[in-house]
Structure 1
Amino acid sequence: MEAEIKLALDAASVAKIKKSPVLRPNAETEPVDDDHVDRYFDTPGFDLWKHGFALRVRSSGERHVQTLKGGGSALAGLHRRTELEAGVASETPDLDLFARQLKQAVPELARAAAGLQLAPEPVFVNRTRRTSWMLALEDGARVEVALDVGELQRGDKSVPVRELELEIKEGDPARLFQLAQQVHEHTPVRIENVSKAERGYALAHEDKPQAVKATPVTLKRKATLGEALGAIMLNCLQQMQANERLVATGDVEGLHQMRVGLRRLRAALAMVRDLIHLPEPLAADIEWLAGELGEARNWDVFIESVLPALPLTETHKPALARVEVAAREEAQRHHAKVRSAVGSARYTGLMLGLGGWIAGKGWQQAGLPQDGGLPPDPLAQQVRRAAPRLVQHASARVRKRARTFDLTQPENLHKVRIAAKKERYAREFFAALGHGKHGARRHDLLTGMQDELGEINDAFVAQDLVGQLRERVPQEEGLLGFIEGVLAMRALDALPRARKHVRNRLRDKARF
């Protein structure tokens, strides 16, 4: 299985990369240019692509190579996937070879694909000039560098290709992150989690990208706690990165799901804060990104949920329209800040840093604090033994806040909500190990309480936003004052009910 990091470049960076002080001094070979044409084939119904695979015939002069590639994963630009290739006689696929490759890579499709017929014309074509050379790094790792410049074509549609690929040939794939960070420091790049095949197929069917929600974390019962934590954090990072393209378009749900992924990552780190210490620069950048996403999300909630639910009359409508225009302008301004943040060198550095820290198991460090009778290396214990303890600690924090905080104060109810959310996430992280009926009921309870307390928090956040709108539409003071009054009354009405639910439900001792 190949492992490579893909980095996207702008036009100005292409020439700089060839002279990079990071990539040239360690060159084991001189750069070689090669013009090639990649033709991607599939069935008329795109059966291969639906199973996560792509069939390519690469032609370079008189040489033709047929490759079936796919499966695996992409994280922070690091692509791991199956790749089966062999020489063929022409620029069209060898069907006997294709059948053998298919049987090896996707046996379930091969069994179901009796009579599977490829379309005679390629789905799309990639015309690229590749400049490649080999690096021999100081630690013994060997990396192939490939700079691709060209375009993907389907009919009269095309998209440019400007990519830098770093493929590990010898050594630990985690080493690629360090190398990519060094490249990024000298020549800003962007992580490319979307393969050329994905971009090419996007030309073939113009499906609108959809926001990606959290997917279940896959855990092996015999996994160690360290292995499980790596899988959990990768899962959170994948959700964040899967929504990057939508965030770049200003999509509201895409931003929401990226923020959920970041919240889950922060919850995972908080769950093991006594065992794992994230490097301070990464921790600071996580908080920076959380702030950028949070401000934009607050305005989205205000526009989509708060304003439509107000008990306004026909006489309010002209003023409401002006208030809504001002609110949307604020939302657009914050979405622009988010797009700038996600497209920034700082964000790329954060994603590469987190990817490298996770892939390199950066949490494996000496001198971990001990408590509660943990084994000498708490991360080496089996996750099925450690998970109940971590969930119980998260539950205990909820009970403590519900029992000791002054619940007449909205800010304290918000703190209870945050703790309940972290317990819910902890239960979801370890759901593959099984909750039992009690654990499932507890999860449902936490979800309901989070929603109820969230409505109160939304009302208080909205009051702050109304205050900001006064500066933009001071002439609508009457309506803004009315909105503030409605929000304040709703929060006050909901507070007693919320306090009662917290006392009666969240104080009970919860099992895993």
Structure 2
Amino acid sequence: MECEIKLAVDAASAARLKKSAVLREHAVSRPREQEHVDRYFDTGGFDLWKHGFALRVRSAGERHVQTLKGGGSAVAGLHRRTELEAEIGSGTPDQELFSKQLREALPDLADSLDGRQLAADPVFVNRTKRTTWMLALPDGSHVECALDVGELQHGERTTQVRELELEVKNGDPACLYELARRVHETTPVRIENVSKAERGYALATDDKAHAVKATPVSLRRKATLGEALGEILLNCLQQMQANERGVQAGDVESLHQMRVGLRRLRAALAMVEDVVQLPEPMTADIEWLAGELGDARNWDVFLASVLPGLPLAEDQKPALARVEAAAREEAERHRARVRSAIASPRYTTLLLALGGWIAGKGWQHTTLPADPLEQKVAKAAPRLVQHASARVRKRARGYDLKRPECLHEVRIAAKKERYAREFFAALSYDRKAEKRHDLLSGMQDELGEINDAFVARQLVGQLRDRVPQEAGLLGFIEGVLAERALDAMPRARRHVKGRLRDRARF
């Protein structure tokens, strides 16, 4: 199993890394440069890639190495992949070796696929100059450091490759985060969750970035709560990072799903706040990112859900067009802020810090009692879900539900309970629990409409400075939003009282 962190760098940083004091401090060998050509092969229908694997033949001079690589995961830059490799005689795949590798890595696919079905031409080619060092770290870990500068090519399409790989040869993978953090302090880098194979196939298929929703969390019943927490947090980080490409491409839904991933991460930490304390710098950076994503999302909702449904007369539509243009400018300004945020050193620092904290089980190093984290998750999960449910019940019974801010508090509590149920869904087989989850989702949507109306009124207030000549229309919009919220609140109160006041099972 290969375990490495990938860091993307720009041209200036690539040159500086060769002289990096951080890397030279731990180097046990001089940097060695080598040029190689990687050819990636697959069937005509990309059967290997559809199963998450890539077949690579690397040629350096007269030496050729065939590697079947894939599976595993990539979170916070840390790639864990199955890697099977052997030296071969030429730059084209050895069919007998491929069949053997396939049987070991993908036995189900091996029954229907062999080397004869590989296409003769590579899917894409990677031409790279690689500089490598071996590093010995103070904790005894040995790390191979590789700086790759090159180009991926499919036909006439090309894309540049500049990345630093830190692969642990022996030792704790958590050491990679500390090393990456120190490199980042002197030479700005970015977390790279996308492998060269992913980039190459995207080039070959003209694949566009798209929004990625949360995937189910895989948990073992015999795992401790601490181990389960690590898996949950990594799952949330994975969703966040899977949407980075879409956000950078301007996709609105990708921004929404990245925000959902961060919201899930915050909910997971809040769920165990009695025994887990995140370091303050990380907490501050999470709040900063949440603010940037939240502001952008509010404007996207305003444009998609508020303005299109206004009951306007024909003579009001020119004024609406001017208001909408101003709102689109605000939305794009905030999306640009998000793009800048996730390209910033601060974002990379946050991901490296979170990844290192999770990999190093940072919850074991706080002043809070950690004993509950040693419980089996199968025992701890019902308690945590029921605690989240009790918070919903308390707010549904004890709050003044005629006040919109109180309904908003109920909504937030219901959302946290829903996330808790999703985190531990692999451990629950109760049909009533599934119905509770569906109920919470419906209530969140219903209460969310009220919250969206109040947020939209705040945005209308901001537009008064942008289009003061449309004060009349903006006042009308505020009135419509207020009326919508007031109409929805009695129904929401009835549903909260009737559905969320009872105890719920897990």
Q: What TM-score results when the alignment is normalised by the length of structure 2? A: 0.98
Residue pairs, 1:445-484, within 5 angstroms: 445-484=439-478
State the one-letter code of the partner of 1:384.
A
1:232 aligned onto 2:224: no
- 1:318 corresponds to: 318
How far residue 403 of structure 1 moved from its aligned partner, in angstroms, is 1.6
- 1:193 corresponds to: 193
Check conservation: 1:43, 1:116, Cα contact below 8 A.
no
State the one-letter code of the partner of 1:403.
R
CA 1:337/1:367 → structure 2, altered by over 3 Å: closer, same or farther? closer
Partners in 2 of 1:305 and 1:261 — Cα distance?
A: 22
1:21 aligned onto 2:7: no
Check conservation: 2:9, 2:189, Cα contact below 8 A.
yes
CA 1:162/1:387 → structure 2, altered by over 3 Å: closer, same or farther? same
1:377 aligned onto 2:371: yes
Check conservation: 1:133, 1:144, Cα contact below 8 A.
yes
Aligned residue for 1:22, secondary structure, equals helix
Partners in 2 of 1:327 and 1:263 — Cα distance?
A: 25
Partners in 2 of 1:367 and 1:68 — Cα distance?
A: 45
Partners in 2 of 1:118 and 1:448 — Cα distance?
A: 48
How far residue 437 of structure 1 moved from its aligned partner, in angstroms, is 1.9
How far residue 170 of structure 1 moved from its aligned partner, in angstroms, is 1.2
State the one-letter code of the partner of 2:473.
L
1:69 aligned onto 2:63: no
- 2:498 corresponds to: 504
1:169 aligned onto 2:169: yes
Aligned residue for 1:250, secondary structure, equals coil
After superposition, the C-alpha distances for 1:188-235 in whole angstroms (9 at most, x for unaligned) are: 100110111111111110122220001111111111111111111111
1:123 aligned onto 2:123: yes
How far residue 408 of structure 1 moved from its aligned partner, in angstroms, is 1.4
Partners in 2 of 1:340 and 1:334 — Cα distance?
A: 10
Aligned residue for 1:113, secondary structure, equals coil
Aligned residue for 1:30, secondary structure, equals coil
How far residue 366 of structure 1 moved from its aligned partner, in angstroms, is 6.0
Aligned residue for 2:285, secondary structure, equals helix
Partners in 2 of 1:352 and 1:397 — Cα distance?
A: 33
- 1:418 corresponds to: 412
- 2:48 corresponds to: 48
- 1:288 corresponds to: 288
Aligned residue for 1:87, secondary structure, equals strand
What percent of counterpart residues are identical?
75
How far residue 445 of structure 1 moved from its aligned partner, in angstroms, is 1.2
State the one-letter code of the partner of 2:150.
G
Check conservation: 2:277, 2:368, Cα contact below 8 A.
no
Partners in 2 of 1:238 and 1:478 — Cα distance?
A: 46
Aligned residue for 2:23, secondary structure, equals coil
- Corresponding pairs, count: 506
After superposition, the C-alpha distances for 1:391-432 in whole angstroms (9 at most, x for unaligned) are: 011011111111222211111110110001000100111111
Aligned residue for 2:493, secondary structure, equals helix
- 1:33 corresponds to: 33
Partners in 1 of 2:116 and 2:43 — Cα distance?
A: 7
State the one-letter code of the partner of 2:133.
W
1:208 aligned onto 2:208: yes
After superposition, the C-alpha distances for 1:12-58 in whole angstroms (9 at most, x for unaligned) are: 10111011111111100000000101111111111111111111111
- 2:98 corresponds to: 98
Partners in 2 of 1:18 and 1:383 — Cα distance?
A: 46
State the one-letter code of the partner of 1:179.
L
- 2:433 corresponds to: 439
How far residue 116 of structure 1 moved from its aligned partner, in angstroms, is 5.1
Partners in 2 of 1:366 and 1:69 — Cα distance?
A: 38
Match of 2:387 among 373, 389, 393: 393
Partners in 2 of 1:423 and 1:148 — Cα distance?
A: 45
1:220 aligned onto 2:220: yes
Partners in 1 of 2:365 and 2:30 — Cα distance?
A: 39
State the one-letter code of the partner of 2:271.
M
State the one-letter code of the partner of 1:275.
V
After superposition, the C-alpha distances for 1:56-106 in whole angstroms (9 at most, x for unaligned) are: 111111111111111111011110001111111111111111111111111
Check conservation: 2:96, 2:115, Cα contact below 8 A.
no
Aligned residue for 1:364, secondary structure, equals helix
Partners in 2 of 1:155 and 1:438 — Cα distance?
A: 55
Partners in 1 of 2:435 and 2:150 — Cα distance?
A: 55
How far residue 507 of structure 1 moved from its aligned partner, in angstroms, is 1.0
Partners in 1 of 2:14 and 2:48 — Cα distance?
A: 33
Match of 1:405 among 396, 399, 409: 399
Partners in 2 of 1:115 and 1:63 — Cα distance?
A: 21
- 1:264 corresponds to: 264
Partners in 1 of 2:93 and 2:218 — Cα distance?
A: 36
After superposition, the C-alpha distances for 1:296-329 in whole angstroms (9 at most, x for unaligned) are: 0000000001111211222221111111110000
State the one-letter code of the partner of 2:72.
G
> Cα RMSD over matched residues?
1.1
Partners in 1 of 2:325 and 2:482 — Cα distance?
A: 23
Partners in 1 of 2:185 and 2:429 — Cα distance?
A: 45
Check conservation: 1:42, 1:122, Cα contact below 8 A.
yes
Q: What TM-score results when the alignment is normalised by the length of structure 1? A: 0.97
